[in-house]
A and B are shown apart, each in its own frame.
Chain A
């Protein structure tokens, strides 16, 4: 009852919801862009999505952490620049944010999360942030929200090249090449990128230096599309990521360690359009490998290795003119082992039904998913969303869903500790939002309420630690987003911002979860005059508790970071850009994790050539 009342209260106090249709970068009328993760368009209308493309990606450092820290309301717990980075999305844990590569969930089989510093954004056409539950569409971990890494396939766009290079403080190199060639029938796109850094920054207000923080990562991506005939298309996406990071030291006398990642992802899709039916068959193989060197000068390491094979068949049927029914059958087979886990296999089969109908002012979408595995009891997942356009400028969204996070390999199989009795964490959530769109202005605000049960936590049990389903967490708050553009003659001004208010409490202790700020805001102001542009961006992160008893003596202070930059575009069609960036211009001394100091003011210079 109490819960009902609080739900009701939250509802009253919520003002909004939202969804934004991605803006595609179609330059030529006859160019056709095919998206592989179609759910982002077809089943995300009643939730907030935010698409980060070209200029935003160009101005960001190559790590997914930095891109999203500056442009989204997700909070990052980053263990020093470039080190292990875990997200908290809408106050949830790192395992409750799913990262989706071209429609496939790539969170680690071992720990259930993605380290956002092991994703290099240069290989993707866009990065989309989708707030709120998405387990029916994207599986485990889609509780706080999902982050999508997308490669598009362009047809009819000829031969295009893009070269990007950046050099900056701490000997940081970030270079990338992307080449694509396409005709009416085929499309080929290959990308290469590499980021490396000595990462030996001085701590602000201290004579200490970030030691043993050097890293590199390289990415190779390849995307092919072939239209066999008018009714059949074949697509392939391939991806390889290789990185080595030394983990920075808290004290110079520590033993230096390092960590290597090698991840591969391959996806083959065959899509057929037959009258009222669309048939899609997907086969995918993804692998993750890590090696942890507990002494970077030695050759001994601990490791983890997991491979998944995914088969998925989807049939879309157009029931009425504006009503669509999809049925999906999928199977995922995973095999993994690590230094602490003997080889284990698991198979998860899933069945989904999705329905969407659009009327003049109203649309609704409903979906169901049930997974079957002998690992654990899987709940029935569902999602229901309604969107109503009150006026042409104002829409209301309502969405409710049940989502989950399944036990990981570590949770289930860790030698001596693994608990085969674990059940998935489950989340019941509801969100309500308003979205306002005017000519050059959009504003949205969404209120959410998320009740997460059976949270898996490792607790002492005799002489060891064992994972158990225990915690019950309530997360609620609001997310707001604003975008304004104005143009007066040759002067263009764009202003954008996000704000999130988040409460995330352990229901038993009534304490805020550690490393979840109540407030986070981002803002960006861009001014362009002809070929020149200058911008200023800022991020505010509120204070966070570092101890679970919310002891006020152990908090990390709030910080306000500011970056500024300028760009000049040259070439006949402004297809060459040079830019200069200043980060942390006020030389703020801040930490995202206790004792992990971040860099002060730093610089970089970049060029971006399209030819």
Chain B
């Protein structure tokens, strides 16, 4: 009996462990200087829970608040809070177990609605031409029912579904194309789906096993972190950072990691990729042809869980024993020292800049 929960927890935690914060999903809208709401000009940290929650920390670190969604709306977010997306003034909170995306004003966090019909294990959301696209695992034990839900953002209704391969995870919109990393859900996959939003056609690009984190670098390439199959699967494969040319949609460079190295979180700032592996953070310049052999810093965290970089700061969440509140630890990338630490939610996994 309990082992079912153990199983679910393990699977969930494993999934979350190996996923991580997405890149800054800011779509380019720069908030004006006037006060937009209590939660503008700061950092949002989402926590899977349960209870799931969102924390806010102002950019100057002078104020911080946990459970902001609950505090504003007097309502819990269902477990597990997987990720958030942002479009114009709206924030979209994706909770996978409850098959729901809650829509809030991103600055006041007042709930504006929810997308609750037509989703099945939603993971991440992206936006293109005013339309929302949500990756869905479907039944995680069924490899053939995975899809991307197409959402009319004015009605919050799913208006179409685009079938894709097993275990779609993160999603990035570039022009009329959507790039979806297929880590594989409960299974393992090794593809990037390329969806043309004008006609919903899907093409795939094969990469190394378990692609998850994606960023667009300053050269306009899609950089994908493929974690590789871990040893316990009995079929360990190499992790890699793969670069994809977006005009030809082909892999133009693959930087492989050594045997047994399976990095799990990646971010991009100042023309450099930062990734985390085994409690250490590494820095990779766009021009490098091999992955670095030494870390730029060793994290002072029990269980590094989520990671983000912006400007010269590195943000890491420490999930500790997964049964205590997490910490958000902020490092200065220049001095490699801790700037500040904040207590955030339970199993905090994603960091966004609002």
Contacts and interface: CB of A to CB of B under 8 A. Distances in A.
A255 B120 contact: yes
A294 B324 contact: no
Contacts of B13: 460, 465
Interface string A378-410: 000000000000000000000000000000001
Interface residues on B, range: 35 or more
A338 B3 CA distance: 10
Contacts of B209: none
Interface string A505-525: 000000000100000000000
A460 B6 contact: no
Nearest to A254: B98
Contact of B14 (A294, A340, A465, A551): A465
A290 B3 CA distance: 10
A102 to B, nearest CB: 22
Contact of B2 (A113, A295, A417, A548): A113
A410 B3 contact: yes
Contact of B18 (A110, A118, A261, A463): A463
A338 B7 CA distance: 11
A304 B3 CA distance: 9
Given A250-B79, A463-B18, A594 B51 contact: yes
A1 interface: no
Contacts of A463: 14, 17-18, 227, 230, 232, 262, 264
Interface in A113-160: 113, 115, 118
B140 interface: yes
B321 A548 contact: yes
A302 B5 CA distance: 12
A135 to B, nearest CB: 21
Contacts of B4: 259, 290, 292, 302
Given A251-B78, A417-B10, A551-B325, A300 B141 contact: yes
Given A254-B99, A547-B325, A462 B262 contact: yes
Interface in A415-454: 415-417
A465 B10 contact: yes
A250 B78 contact: yes
Contacts of B78: 250-251, 253-254
A253 B116 contact: yes
Contacts of A464: 10, 14, 230, 232
A110 B232 CA distance: 20
13 contacts: A255-B99, A259-B4, A290-B1, A300-B141, A302-B7, A415-B232, A460-B13, A462-B231, A464-B230, A464-B232, A547-B323, A554-B346, A594-B51
Interface of A: 84, 86, 94, 108, 110-111, 113, 115, 118, 250-251, 253-255, 259, 261, 290, 292, 294-295, 298, 300, 302, 304, 338-340, 410, 415-417, 458, 460, 462-465, 514, 547-549, 551, 554, 594-595
Interface of B: 1-7, 10, 13-14, 17-18, 50-51, 76, 78-79, 97-100, 116, 120-121, 139-142, 227, 230-234, 262, 264, 278, 303, 320-325, 346
Interface pairs A-B: 9 shortest CB-CB: A416-B232, A549-B324, A115-B1, A111-B3, A548-B323, A251-B78, A251-B98, A463-B230, A111-B2
Given A298-B139, A458-B6, A547-B323, 7 more contacts: A108-B1, A110-B3, A253-B99, A410-B6, A415-B232, A462-B231, A463-B264
